[in-house]
Every structure is written in C-alpha cells, then in structure tokens.
Structure 1
Amino acid sequence: MSRLTPPRCLAAPRNHLALAICMATMTPALAQQGEAHQSAAGNVLELGATEITNTQLGSTTEGSRSYTTGAMSTATKLPMTMRETPQAVTVITRQRMDDMGMTSINDAIDATPGVFLSYASGPGRQTYYARGFEIDNLMYDGIPSGYNGVNVGVQPNLAMFDRVEIVRGATGLVTGAGNPSAAVNMVRKRPLGDQRVTLTGAAGSWDDYRGEVDASSPLNESGTLRGRVVTSYRDANSYIDGAEEDHGLLYAITEADLSDDTTLAVGFSHQKDKTNNFWGASLVGLDGRHQDLPRSYNPGTDWENKEQETNTLFAELRHQLANDWKLQFNGSYAKQNALFSGSYQSRFKADRRLERTVYQTKNDERQTGLDAFASGPFQAFGRTHELVIGASKRIYDMTSDDYDPYNFSSWPVDGGKPDFTRISSSRAVTSQDGVYMTTRLSLADPLKLILGGRLDWYDYDDKESSEADYKVTRNVTRYAGLIYDLDDHHSVYVSYSDIFTPQSNKDTSGSPIKPIVGKNYEVGIKGEYFDGALNASAALFRIDQENRAVNVTGADRLNCSDQQNCSVASGEVRSQGIDLELQGALTENWQLGAGYTYARVHTLKDAANPQNENQRFDTDMPEHLFKLSTVYRFQGPLEKLRVGGNLSWQSRMYNDIPLDGGSSYRLKQGAYALTSLMAGYAVNENLDLQLNANNVFDKKYYSSISTSTQYGGDTYGAPRNLMLTAKYSF
C-alpha cells in the first residue's frame, strides 16, 4: 500500500502532460493529497475525465491510455526503463490493443516494428520472424514456452493480457535455447483493487461476432484477496468461400496478500480454437506465375479442420526481503490437445496432373516451466549496484499420432474425406535446466554496465529411438551492455548478447555437432521525454549465426560413421541493419507507436552450396518494414471523440520458382502499403463505441507467395473490412 507522502511529481513545476500522468498513476488518497498540494500553491490542474487508479505506468499499462511503458524486465530480469535497456524493445500496451481491435497474438506481432508475420506454410499456420530469424519461443509472465507455428502454434487470445513486451535480437539470457530473433513476453492481466465489470460486443464484416466479459473485484472487505475473470467467444466467417473459425477463452486469476511482504497469485486459462482454413494455399501456374484467382477462392475442402484446446495452470509468489531485496517464484503447466485434418492441391507427379495431398495428425503437447530468482541492490566501491540470481527449468513433452493416408499425393482433388487410420505414434521430451545471473553496475553517475551469464543443460530424449537423442551440457550464454547518459533525456549504448540452438545432426564420428550460436551486436541511442511518456530509439545491429549444420558431400562422406546423417558445423548467416522506433505520447492527447526496420540477411558460409554465399538467406521476407499506430483524443466540445489508425508498408518479396526443363521464374509480391482507420466515441462514462476500418483502400496483395509449382503458397491478405465494437463498463 502507498504511504500518504507528498507526491514527488508535484514537488516542482512540470509540464501538463507529465503532471497528468503522475496524477493518473496515484492511488485515490494520493490524488486527493496532490490536488490539495496544488491548490495550496495556487496552481490548480483540472483533470476532467482522467481516471485515477493505483496503476503505475510501466508496471501495468491497463488504464494508462499510453502506447509505451515505464519499466520492463523481459531483456535481463532487471526492471529497467526502455532507455536503460541496451537493446531494441517494444511494448504493445492494452490501450494500443483496444484502439486497433487486436484479438490474438497474430495482431500484436503484425503491429510490432521489426517483426514479420508469415503465412508461407498456409493461412492458419503462422510463423513469426525478427531480424531474419524465426521466433521459436513465446513467454508468459517471463516463462519461456516453445512455439512451433507450423505444426502446433496456438494463437494466444489477447483478452487475458495487459501487454506484450518484445525484445529484438538474441535473448538467450532469459529464454535459454532458441534463435537470435526476439523474445515475445505476454504479461497477464491482474486483479484490480476496485470492483469493475466491462462488457464488450463486436460485429464485423463476413459475420464476424465477438463477445467478452471482464470482471474484477476484491473478494474480502480488507481487499487482501482479489479476483478477476475474463471470458471471450468469437464466431467468424471469412472473405474466403466456406472458411469459418471460432475462438473461446476462459481466464481466471486470484491474488492474495498473505502478509505485508508476501503476495501469491494463482490462475487458470482455457482456450479453444477451431478453423477449417489453415493449410491449403493457391497454386501458381506451371509457368511459375500468379494465377490471379479471386480473393474468395478456397483451394481446400469442406471436411478440413484444425481444432486446438489449451489448458494452463500458473502461479506466482512474490516475497519482499530486507534491504529492498525480493524473492520471486513463477510456475506454469500447459497442456494442449490438437487435431489437424487438412489438404492442399499439388502437382508432384511427373506429368504435373492436379491432385491433392492429404494429412491428419493428433498432437498432445505438455509444457512445464519453473523460474525462481532473487534480486536487489548491493553496495560496492561507494556506489549502489543491482543483482539478479536465479534458476529455471523447462520441460517440453510432445506426443504425435500420424494417420494413413499420410502425405498421400495421389488423392483425387474432389475425392472427399479419406478414411484416416492411425498408423504410428511418437513421443519426444526436451528438458532444459539453467542458472543465471545479471548485474547492473554503476560505474559512474552517467555510466552503467550490465553483465549477465547463463549456464544451461539441454536434453532431447526421443522415446522411439535412442539414436536420435542428443544433449548439450553446460552451455554458456553471455550478455553485456554499456549505457552512457548524455543528458537528462538521451543515452547511448553498446551491447552484446547471444543464444544457442541445439542440433540433431551428427558429425563424422556419429556424435551430435555443436549447437548453433547466434551473436547479437548492437549500438544505439535512446531518448526519454515527458518523464517517460515518450520513448525514442535508433540502433544499428548485426547478428552472426554460426555453426549451422552443413552436409558432408563428395569423397569426405566416406569418412562418416553414419553416411545418412553426416554434417559439419560450418555454415554461417549474417543479419545486419537499422532499427528506428518512437512510442508514447507526442502531446497530452496524442499517442503514437511507429517504427522502421531494415534487415539484410545473407549467407556468409555454405560449404555444401557455395553458390548461396553472399546471397539473400530468405527472399520471401521483406528487407524493409514500416509500421505506425496512432490515436488522437479531442478536447473541448469534441472531448468524447477520438480518431486514429494504422499504416504499414513493406518492401518486395520474391522467390525463384524452379520450372520443368531447368529454368526458373522470379515470382514477386511488390512493395505495398496498407491503411486502416478507427474512430471512437464515449457516449457517457459507461458506454463507449468504436469503429475500425481495415485496409480502407482495399489493396489486393499476397501476404505470402509460393516457392514451387508443385504445391500452393499464394495466400491473399484480407480485403477491406469493418468492425464495430461497443464496450460498457461499470
């Protein structure tokens, strides 16, 4: 609980934006005291309809009306402002989600600067990329969770999250194993200190309907026990003929103050998603060109289905120790059941006749995550420093059942649903144990040094074949960042971070080759204005991903103990570019989130295919990305009105399509921009209406393009569409 002391933000003259933010983040008692303080000084500030809550900018974004955050710990476990974090970071706040009508993590990813949402494997098999590398971890309240968008890849429902924090580059210090792409940390909503209920209803194009209830309240008279429940359901058709989907969510959390120093939170979420349009994309012609089919064309069948159900239990225990130290424990257990029955059109036969490839699999995925750490200040050399020491454990247990026909490419195009029969089952368990330490050293008043290290034990256990097992023992991950404050508003930084990715490939002796290592080098400048209400950054980065497996070829293969699986760790890929971002308040009433990223990703070394060296690593991702979201709230007679929108632009994508006869055709999706608009109106203190218009100029474009004439990859983006949302709070 906050003590009734004079508010520091009122102790000296400030600009009106800073003062309004300060007042909006106080407890009611502090707010009253602040108003009295201002009156006594003869400087009364009228806040109008500003909501006074006990939420601080940076710890919880809900209710802040902000597009930025004051503090985040995703990069290093240390609670630092964006300016203090020596990497490119973004936060998608609750306000930004609501303004832009975001409902799933796909929407948040699509709005994040420097991150690319790809549907190259099908319209419902999304993958995420940052700086040219796939994001293979999603984090929930700081606990990493393995993510495979092509095979399993549930899309978390944003109704249960307060914000999404994204750190671009190598993030091995907090995630352990993974790619040098980004850490995406989804922070769950917590119970509020007062009773509040919000009812939301939405209706949009193609019979897209959504309902949501969000209720929070103290559960005892003293307020030491609090609870919150969020439930959501969406039923939608599509611009694609016959395509439909539905999404259901139940989220519940209870938070208890066990003592003045100890708080326990326990929660549960149940999410169920279903769609019949997830795999098949349109074929290109035999000449490699787009067929320019209608956007409504559905290459799939009416029997296809993707059904996923995820149940998650989680807990968090926070204990305040002496001398400003704290102890925190987080635990999570998630179980996902998924059944995929799908198909895609194909031309695998020599005569390139049109057929259908069919597929069915059932996945049972279990993920367990544990993380415990202690953090706090310490004194050394006459200065105060910070330290985090922790340990974590992850277990990823996957069982898959495959069915016949399996990838059977001669199924008739209109042959109906096959009689799928289970033919095999496989199970693999991946475990990872780690210990880590991070410290922020105050070398001088303007100079801070962050050092971190992590030690991991990684074990892949294939329950069907011990020959596929592999381990990584005592892998060392490093982190270093140096930050220098130029003045009260600007800092420059330089940082290094890395991450490892174990490989199943075997060397010439039959032993697993060493892990891939992704090394992230970054230098930049950051600005913080209006007491943290606006953050700006500019960074230059380079990522070197080394030790990629390269197949042994030619006479050298005779020296391999296993000639079917023989590689050397010699491949190398480099990503380098620039990252610019601005997020937060330009004025009291104008919020903005905008960013531009250029990332050139190319192959440095590839002994098996030397022709790939110095060539683009993946051509069907754009090198340039620009994304902008904004909202403006009018004042005076129009104070109930707000307007805003999105603007996104990306450079061209292309693939060189092999053709029969040995030639090729360069298939392109040229650069394009998309514009979306929104307008909201607060009818009264309880009812709010909002209209979102997406792709207002009805741009026709491909969100992904094909790589072959033998199977489909052309997926259209959505045409112009509308969504009307009504929200009633009491």
Structure 2
Amino acid sequence: MKTSSRHAGSMTQQPMAKRSVVTSLRAWRHVSLIAFLAATLGASSGALAQSDSADDTTSLETVTVTGENLYENVGYTRRSTSAGTRFDLSPKEIPQALSIITEQRISDQNLRTVEDVLANTTGVSARQIDSSRVSFFSRGFRINSFQYDGLPTLNTDNRWDFGEGALNAAIYDRVEVVRGANGLLTGAGNPGASVNFVRKRANSRELTGSLSGSLGRWNQHGTVADVTTPLTQSGDVRARFIGGYEEGDSHLDRFSERTKFGYAVIDADVTEHTTLSVGYDYHRGRHSSPTWGGLPLWYADGGETHYSRSFSVAPDWSYNDRESEKVFADVEHRFANDWTLRGAATHAVTNLDSKLAYPYGFPDRASGQGMYYFTGWNRGEREVDAVDVYASGPFSLLGRQHELVIGGSYSEQTNDYENTFTAGFDPGNFNRWDGLTPEQQWPDFAPSEGTSVRQKAVYSAARLSLADPLTLILGARHSDWSGSSWTAAGGTDAQAQNEITPYGGLIYDIDDTWSVFASYTEIFQPQEYRDASGRFLDPIVGKNYETGLKAAWLDGLLNASLSVFRIEQDNVAQADPLAPGATQTTYHAARGVVSRGVDVEVSGALTRDLDMTVGATHYTATDADGPYSTDRPRTQVKLFSSYRVPQWQPLTVGGGLNWQSHTFVANAAGPNGPQRIDQGSYTLASLFGRYQFTPQLAMQVNINNLFDETYYSYFDGYGVYGEPLNATTTLTYSF
C-alpha cells in the first residue's frame, strides 16, 4: 500500500474489494474555516490571515491512496461513524454534538487510561473521588451509559466503582462520545452523554506490530506489545494481540499500582460477504495503599488546612484489586442489495476486592488530634450479558433513496456485594500520620446488597431524504426494563417499566461544506422511590433539545461543530411533607434539572503538517433549589495539537491546554456546620515531542501539568489533589 500523505500512512487495510481513491488537496482556501473560528471561539481573523499566504491560499500536494479500503481514522478526526444512529454517516450528518478521540490522538497525548481519554474530551469533566475511583460528567449530568463496539452493555452504579476509568486505552481504535441524550441506542441512562469504546481489529493481512517501553516520574514504567498476523496464507483469517504490564508509585505517599492487560481478536472473512470476529479482553489492576476519601479541608477551629499533595490518608495495609474479563463476538453479512445484517454479543465479569480505611473529623491545628478512621473490606462481582442484532440498508420511496435501521437488543446485569467492618481506629497526631498502624481483626464476610437489571428492546430509525439538501432522521426504541435490588437491612424491591424513547433530527446541507441541524432526543432512568400509594415513580426522562452548525473540509480531514442545547429532566423524585405519625417518606414526581448551554469543537488537519483538536463548552444547570452540581466547571476549553516540523521531518512537536472555570460547593460539611468552599479557575498545560530515528524506531516525551498547577480534582467534605508536574518517555519499535 503506497501513500504520499502522513494521514494516509496511518491507514490500514480492510478486506473489501480493491479500489483506488484520489483526493486532491490543491488550492485549499481558509476563508470558511476562519469565519467559523471567529464566530465561535472569538478568534481574530486578522491574526489568522497573517499565517496564510498573501492570497489566503495554501497549496497542498495531491494525495493518492491505493489499497483495499480507506481506514477511516485520519489524524485527529474520522470521516464516518455509526455513533448515535447506527447509520454510517460523516460527523457533519449527525444531528448531535459528537467527539471522536482517535488512535493517533491517544498516542500523541499519551492517554494511557480511559480516565485520561475522557478527561481530555470536549464537554466532559472528570472527578477523582479518591486515588482509585473516578466519575465523569457532561452538561451537568453523570455519564453512566457505556457501549463497547456499539453494543450497549453497561449502566454504572453511583455507589460502586469497578474501575472503568483505570482500564488501559491501548486496545481501543477510538472512543466516541455523543453528548446529550442517546436513548435510541443505549436504553436507560442519564442525558449528559454516552460513550462508545471501539476496539482495535486485525485489519492487516501481513505481519505488523510494535513494541514500546515507557519510563516516567515516580518510578512508573511499563511495556506494551501490539502484533497482527495472518493465520492463513490468503490472510482471510487474521489475529491481533495487544498486551502490556505497568507498575509504579505515585505523587501520593505509599500509593503504588500494578496493571496487566491482554487483548486478543480473530477476524475471519468467512465468505466474500461475511466477516466474523471473536475476541477476549482482560484487565487486572492492584493498588497498594489507596485512599478512601481524602484530606480534611478544615481544622477544628474552622481554618483551612494546607496539606502537601503527597500527604496520603491511607494506611499501609490497604489495597484495591480489580479484575475484568470480557469475551465478545460479532458477525456481519453484506447482501448484494447493499443491506447489511450485523449481530454482536458479549459476556463480561468484573470483580473488586477493596480493604480500605476512611478518615473523618477535623484535626486540631496544633496537636493533630480529632480524626478517626472507619474501616471496611468490600468484595463484589458484576456480570453482564448482552446481545444486539440489527439490519440496515437503503430503500426507495416516492422516487428518492432513503435508509432504514431496524434491530433488537437484550442485556442483563447483576451486581452482588459482601463486606465486613472493624471498629475502626484513632490515628493519633494526624499531622504526622505516616500510614503505619496495625491491621485489626476482621469479622466474617456477610452479604450486603445486590441488584439485577434486565433490558429487552426493539428499535428502528429511518433516514429520509426529503430533498437534495434536506434529511430527516426519525427513530424510536421500545424498552422493556425490569430490575430488582436487595439489601441486608431493607429487604427486596422489584419493579418493571416499559418506555418508548423517541429520536428526531433534521439536517439541512447549506453546501458541500456547511450544514445546520436541529434534534430532539430522549433517555430514561428508572428510580427506586415510591409515591403515597406505594407505587414506584415513573422513570426520570431526560429530554435533549439541540440545534447548531456543522462543517467538513478536505473530504472529512477537518470537522467542526457548534451546538446550542437544552436538557430537561421530568419525573424527578421530590419528598412529600411527612404526615403526623408517619415514619416512611413518600415522593412525588416533579421537574428536575434544567441544563442549557453551547459547545464547539474543531478537530482534524489544519494543514498537511498540523493536526489539532480545540473544544469549548459553557452551560448552566439548575434544579428546584437553585444552581446544580456547582463543583463541576460551567466552562471548559480544551486544546491539543501536533505539528510535524517541515524543515526537520523526523521531528513532531505539540502540546495542549485544559482550562476550566471557577467551581464551588455551597454547603460542605465543615466543623461549624455547612460551609462554602471555592476553587478558582485553573489551566493544565502539556507538551510532547517525538523523534523518528528510523522508519521503525521512535522516541516520544510527554509532559503533563507543565506549570505544576495545584488544584483539587474533588472537594466537598474532603479534598483530593490532582497530579503535579510529571513526564513520561516512550520508546517504540514498529515492524
């Protein structure tokens, strides 16, 4: 496969009929891009014009790519995706805000984990609850809907964390984040966003691969191997293996982690029109001396504490183990009439084992007395089974060509937990706490709680060509949801819900570059509260209204979007006044959170040598009590770019900025009652450089938190610091 473009150089082959694609990039005029940036980001078109030639024209060489198929990841963007609708569309044709974090972006920015990926995604904020747990938010709502290869499999629980954020990102080809409600494909969930992790596949018919080793601050080091090989002489059956091991310490005293992961997939062209994939995905991580909670924010006298970022509240005997295994399979058959039938299934088991100690209280400023530890040993298992089958293809109606998707899905998720507790302990002088304390005797384990959720659904969507420039997408999902939960103290509850989730989007193509869109989407989330008659309240319904502008240049090498949105929650539980003599609180449905705002993103190739993603989000969120989720930033700006130096071709340099606005908690639990805590805006800067010694050997250096910003990633009743300045060096050999 021969290429003359660095973007095409990262493309791999897929088993389809051979074709030659010739893309001309000559006479690229920047006028429309400058107008978009000036309107949405407040950029100065005059400043941008100075970087162009005198006639605002940049001439790029013709790019000729010959191969079996164009792989759609190109630099920091993607030409097509099925995210949000199941239709294979360009980002410009999808009537919702969408971010795609590609393999190249993951590699350049050294986004090692899922947490790293999502924390650097437009419109997403990460909250590190302690050293081992993290939650993600978008548009004011917690993200709890996750898909793997488009298969809705997981709805995460607020109370337990099985370590999704710590999973290694090396096995993913890309991560797709659809902001707003996405109930058409995910079923139950919150309306902030849904995340789809797309695994890498065995696309090469020749032996290819890479081996990398990394070394970073705090004695962090690791290695990753990625090998693809044909299993038959023709290459019709191919296998890919990705595996790695990482270990190291942390900026926190005593905290260390060890991670190993493995991924294997076999892709087979069963016939000319049928492809089968089967795979296995394994992750195991162990955290030694992890924190449960964080640092006290105030002394007993009400003054603010000023602990160092290395100060750890964890005892030396605590640990947190997580292990996950996933097996999956999918098959796709392409009919002669351009229809496609695809089926996917997965089985996943995740286990956690955490022996932890949680500090609470307010220490005396001088003596350090006044803190106490609550201890708990928790074990849990989550099991997920899911299957999804759908057919898609074109049809004719009233003299025009349209597209239809129709499918069904089934998923079942069970969570079971057991725990044991000790009487806890007094750490003495907390100001000199070093984690050295005897481990107490633990009583026998006892079952604590369990949940079971089952979803059966049928869904369909039609993409209707109303006129040459006007397209309407209409769809709906019917979900049959049932769930049960039990606790050792409260017995068992069970409920069932039937929900119809609509989807509608209208896209108008202004020209080949620009389009405008408007959409209405929904999602539902069952709840456990009961009304005065003893019935469960109807599910919370999240309604997402969105309109905006999208653009694509250079045959999809550069994509941009501007979205204005409003999200409303209905049927949110509100407590009824407690009647005289009553002991059980009942609830009624009311209007919940309303979130409104705007987000913008430009992602892809600005020139042949410059890739960039820049995104900005601003929103406000309120509920019946006023501002909602104020510890999450209302405004964020995220930028990352890479530049291959034309005068020194082996060298690529780049970096980024993540800025977020002021945040606060109005009623944090302080020593003298509810107390407000504020954190000002801050910026995290990063740099990276890569030098290609030979076509096979490259070295890359990444620097994070370049200016060593001190900030809280989480603050409420306690505080958790974000990572200080750190750097990682990676050496990669490719073959």
Fold similarity call, TM over 0.5: yes
Question: What SS class does the counterpart of residue 146 from structure 2 fall into?
Answer: strand
Question: What SS class does the counterpart of residue 457 from structure 1 fall into?
Answer: strand
Shift of 1:461: 2.2
Q: Distance in 2 between matches of 1:359 and 1:52?
A: 60
Q: After the TM superposition, which residues 239-250 of structure 1 pair with which residues of structure 2 at under 5 Å, given as runs?
A: 239-250=251-262
Match of 1:460 among 479, 483, 488: 483
Q: After the TM superposition, which residues 466-477 of structure 1 pair with which residues of structure 2 at under 5 Å, given as runs?
A: 468-477=492-501
Shift of 1:551: 1.3
Shift of 1:204: 0.5
Question: What SS class does the counterpart of residue 732 from structure 2 fall into?
Answer: strand
Q: Deviations over 1:636-669 (max 9, x none)?
A: 4x00000001210000111134567966432111
Match of 1:329 among 322, 329, 343: 343
Q: Distance in 2 between matches of 1:554 and 1:151?
A: 30
Question: What SS class does the counterpart of residue 531 from structure 1 fall into?
Answer: helix
- Quick check: 1:384 aligned with 2:384? no
What is the one-letter code of the residue matched to 1:252?
A: A
Partner of 1:280: 293
Q: Is the 1:74–1:183 Cα contact (8 Å) retained in structure 2?
A: no
- Quick check: 1:681 aligned with 2:694? no
Q: Deviations over 1:556-601 (max 9, x none)?
A: x77x8xx424111114110000101100000011000110000111
- Quick check: 1:319 aligned with 2:333? yes
- Quick check: 1:153 aligned with 2:162? yes
- Quick check: 1:596 aligned with 2:616? yes
Seen in structure 2, the aligned counterparts of structure 1 residues 658 and 76 have a Cα distance that, compared at 3 Å, is closer
- Quick check: 1:492 aligned with 2:516? yes
What is the one-letter code of the residue matched to 1:384?
A: Q
Q: Distance in 2 between matches of 1:214 and 1:393?
A: 33
Seen in structure 2, the aligned counterparts of structure 1 residues 356 and 533 have a Cα distance that, compared at 3 Å, is same
Q: Distance in 1 between matches of 2:426 and 2:538?
A: 41
Stretch of structure 1 that moved more, 664-673 or 206-215: 664-673
Match of 1:126 among 122, 125, 134: 134
Shift of 1:56: 2.5
Q: Is the 2:697–2:731 Cα contact (8 Å) retained in structure 1?
A: yes
Partner of 2:38: none
Shift of 1:417: 2.1
Q: Is the 2:16–2:69 Cα contact (8 Å) retained in structure 1?
A: no
Partner of 1:403: 420
Q: Distance in 1 between matches of 2:21 and 2:682?
A: 48
Partner of 2:357: 343
Q: Distance in 2 between matches of 1:149 and 1:198?
A: 38
Q: Distance in 2 between matches of 1:363 and 1:341?
A: 12
Partner of 2:726: 721
Q: After the TM superposition, which residues 183-332 of structure 1 pair with which residues of structure 2 at under 5 Å, given as runs?
A: 183-193=194-204, 194-276=206-288, 277-285=290-298, 286=300, 289-332=303-346
Question: What SS class does the counterpart of residue 185 from structure 2 fall into?
Answer: helix
Match of 1:518 among 542, 549, 553: 542
Partner of 1:639: 649
Task: Give the TM-score of the pair, scaled to structure 1.
Answer: 0.88
- Quick check: 1:583 aligned with 2:592? no
Q: Is the 1:359–1:403 Cα contact (8 Å) retained in structure 2?
A: yes
Shift of 1:53: 6.2
- Quick check: 1:96 aligned with 2:105? yes
Shift of 1:147: 2.4
- Quick check: 1:368 aligned with 2:382? no
Seen in structure 2, the aligned counterparts of structure 1 residues 499 and 695 have a Cα distance that, compared at 3 Å, is same
| Number of corresponding residues | 674
Question: What SS class does the counterpart of residue 532 from structure 2 fall into?
Answer: coil
Shift of 1:287: 5.2
Partner of 1:23: none
Q: Deviations over 1:299-319 (max 9, x none)?
A: 111111110011110001101
Shift of 1:57: 4.5
Match of 1:442 among 437, 443, 465: 465
Q: Deviations over 1:664-692 (max 9, x none)?
A: 43211110001110010000010011011
Partner of 2:147: 139
Partner of 2:92: 83
Q: Is the 1:126–1:150 Cα contact (8 Å) retained in structure 2?
A: no
Stretch of structure 1 that moved more, 491-500 or 568-577: 568-577
Q: Is the 2:25–2:62 Cα contact (8 Å) retained in structure 1?
A: no
Seen in structure 2, the aligned counterparts of structure 1 residues 222 and 687 have a Cα distance that, compared at 3 Å, is same
Seen in structure 2, the aligned counterparts of structure 1 residues 379 and 208 have a Cα distance that, compared at 3 Å, is same
Match of 1:9 among 19, 22, 25: 22
Seen in structure 2, the aligned counterparts of structure 1 residues 2 and 254 have a Cα distance that, compared at 3 Å, is closer
Question: What SS class does the counterpart of residue 206 from structure 1 fall into?
Answer: helix
What is the one-letter code of the residue matched to 1:356?
A: Y
What is the one-letter code of the residue matched to 1:552?
A: D
Match of 1:693 among 703, 722, 730: 703
Partner of 1:417: 439
Shift of 1:218: 0.9
Seen in structure 2, the aligned counterparts of structure 1 residues 51 and 635 have a Cα distance that, compared at 3 Å, is farther
- Matched-pair identity in %: 34
Partner of 1:22: none
Seen in structure 2, the aligned counterparts of structure 1 residues 269 and 686 have a Cα distance that, compared at 3 Å, is same
- Quick check: 1:164 aligned with 2:175? yes
Q: Is the 1:191–1:227 Cα contact (8 Å) retained in structure 2?
A: yes
Q: Is the 2:18–2:68 Cα contact (8 Å) retained in structure 1?
A: no
Question: What SS class does the counterpart of residue 136 from structure 2 fall into?
Answer: strand
Question: What SS class does the counterpart of residue 421 from structure 1 fall into?
Answer: coil
- Quick check: 1:110 aligned with 2:119? yes
Shift of 1:533: 0.4
- Quick check: 1:543 aligned with 2:567? yes
Q: Is the 2:302–2:672 Cα contact (8 Å) retained in structure 1?
A: no
Partner of 1:429: 452
Q: Deviations over 1:513-544 (max 9, x none)?
A: 11000000001000101111000111110000
Seen in structure 2, the aligned counterparts of structure 1 residues 512 and 183 have a Cα distance that, compared at 3 Å, is same
Seen in structure 2, the aligned counterparts of structure 1 residues 150 and 122 have a Cα distance that, compared at 3 Å, is farther
Q: Deviations over 1:127-170 (max 9, x none)?
A: 00000000112211012212247512323211111000000000
Q: Distance in 2 between matches of 1:663 and 1:507?
A: 32
- Quick check: 1:353 aligned with 2:398? no
- Quick check: 1:572 aligned with 2:586? no
Stretch of structure 1 that moved more, 220-229 or 627-636: 627-636
CA root-mean-square deviation = 2.4
What is the one-letter code of the residue matched to 1:456?
A: S
Seen in structure 2, the aligned counterparts of structure 1 residues 84 and 659 have a Cα distance that, compared at 3 Å, is closer
Question: What SS class does the counterpart of residue 184 from structure 2 fall into?
Answer: helix
Shift of 1:717: 1.2
Q: Distance in 1 between matches of 2:60 and 2:189?
A: 53
Q: Distance in 2 between matches of 1:721 and 1:433?
A: 46
What is the one-letter code of the residue matched to 1:396?
A: Q
Shift of 1:192: 2.5
Q: Distance in 1 between matches of 2:71 and 2:274?
A: 23
Question: What SS class does the counterpart of residue 606 from structure 2 fall into?
Answer: strand
Q: Distance in 1 between matches of 2:376 and 2:672?
A: 30
Question: What SS class does the counterpart of residue 537 from structure 1 fall into?
Answer: strand
Shift of 1:501: 0.4
Task: Give the TM-score of the pair, scaled to structure 2.
Answer: 0.88
What is the one-letter code of the residue matched to 1:641?
A: L
Q: Distance in 2 between matches of 1:420 and 1:17?
A: 69
Unaligned runs of 5+ in 2: 1-14, 30-58, 429-435
